[in-house]
Amino acid sequence: MRRKPTHPGIIIKKDYLEPLSITIKEMSTILGVSRKTLSKIINGKASISPEMAFRLSRAFDTTPGLWSNLQNNYDLWIVENTSKTWQFVQPITSRLAYD
């Protein structure tokens, strides 16, 4: 993927909170988390945990997998495009062929 995926927090804000006219404070109460926690997610400063994925799926009638996949795709893109240390790891498959 060439384009940076949208952080799931932006999706929460643009696709759910804004159309439903729900504030971060109201949503944090619905989810049973602090306003600060939800604000960090919405502003892309925190990730969606598996627990949060279940909370969001319940609140928005989606699946936990939706939120986990959105977060995973975002995280993988960030690592692939900002970190180069993983490229120095040597594959071990060629060593297994000789054992």
Diameter of the chain by CA atoms?
62
pLDDT at residue 99, rounded to an integer: 56
Q: Please check whether residue 44 is in contact with residue 74, taking contact to mean a CB–CB distance below 8 angstroms.
A: no
Token pair belonging to 4: 């940076």
Q: Please check whether residue 48 is in contact with residue 71, taking contact to mean a CB–CB distance below 8 angstroms.
A: yes
Fold of 8-96: 434 Repressor (Amino-terminal Domain) (1.10.260)
pLDDT at residue 94, rounded to an integer: 64
The residues spanned by each domain of the chain are 8-96
Token pair belonging to 33: 């988390």
**pLDDT per residue rounded down to tens, the chain (99 residues):** 589 999 999 999 999 999 999 999 999 999 999 999 999 999 999 999 999 999 999 999 999 999 999 999 999 999 999 999 998 998 887 666 665
pLDDT at residue 98, rounded to an integer: 61
pLDDT at residue 44, rounded to an integer: 96
Apex 19 CA angle, 76 and 17, nearest 5: 55
